[in-house]
Structure 1
């Protein structure tokens, strides 16, 4: 069966950056399982999956705008250390759940501390990064009506 919208797909993948450094891989674990065509994976890879079938192996280079998007400078903000009132020891690299200006939950990372000022970045860690995927299609099946209705694999 070929991959089309509303099929359940299992893949093994290795994700690398443009320099070939491995960012993530399913090679030593379970395959990634997702419902095709509903935005469960990044748009560029979802498009590349169409018409593939079990056993297919391919490489896909996904531009940042078709992956996690470009860096948004508005998501980098400097605020007073006092805004982190409940945190005793604040360090670069710490991650926090916050609320975007639209009221949506967002993960932010502390990227700089300068005295009483803390700079956070709400961009996805892979925003602005060209993504290189090596993919092997493991299985494809029709989604159940419930999976299609719920928008994810059960």
Structure 2
């Protein structure tokens, strides 16, 4: 029986929960999801949990914040002068905006505060700083070949 290894592409069902039990993500409504291991797109702790699994195997794993979606980073919180935004297009709290960083990469930031003088944007992942439990089921190893 094949085991998941680094750089495999896998198909999984998952449910992610905060420690209070509230669901932060699940494939139960959308169907199984493909994950590409080894390219940095999967949280490191989840990737480690998947490596070595067999098709059909189920596992529950607790990911500490650092191994899940990272710790919150203060340097990803931006405070901007509200006068730089036209009043008719002023962002609203909870809105997600796309911004370009100094390297030209696109970032998603969430508006967390809007006052008369200031707009606060948060570039942290919404689950940054949180410990999360993942229940995972390996459905299939889609591509067991490492990238060339």
TM-score, normalised via structure 1 length:
0.85
Does residue 1:29 correspond to 2:30, yes or no?
yes
Could you tell me whether the CA contact under 8 Å between 1:35 and 1:143 is conserved in 2? Answer: no
Deviations 1:19-43 (A, max 9, x none): 1100110012221112323323111
Deviations 1:42-66 (A, max 9, x none): 1110011111011111101111111
| Aligned-partner Cα distance in 2 for 1:26–1:95 | 23
Aligned to 2:42: 41
Computed over aligned residues only, the root mean square deviation of the Cα atoms, in angstroms, reads: 1.9
Q: CA deviation at 1:102?
A: 4.1
Does residue 1:133 correspond to 2:134, yes or no?
yes
Aligned to 1:152: none
Q: CA deviation at 1:99?
A: 2.1
Deviations 1:98-145 (A, max 9, x none): 123444221111111121211111111111111110111111244357
SS at match of 1:28: coil
Moved over 6 A (4+): none
TM alignment of 1:1-150, pairs within 5 A: 1-85=2-86, 88-143=89-144, 148-149=147-148
| Aligned-partner Cα distance in 2 for 1:141–1:108 | 32
Number of matched pairs: 147
| Aligned-partner Cα distance in 2 for 1:114–1:51 | 50
Instruction: Call closer, same or farther: CA 1:91–1:54 in 2, change over 3 Å.
Output: same
SS at match of 2:121: strand
Unaligned segments of structure 2, at least 5 residues: none
Could you tell me whether the CA contact under 8 Å between 2:99 and 2:107 is conserved in 1? Answer: yes
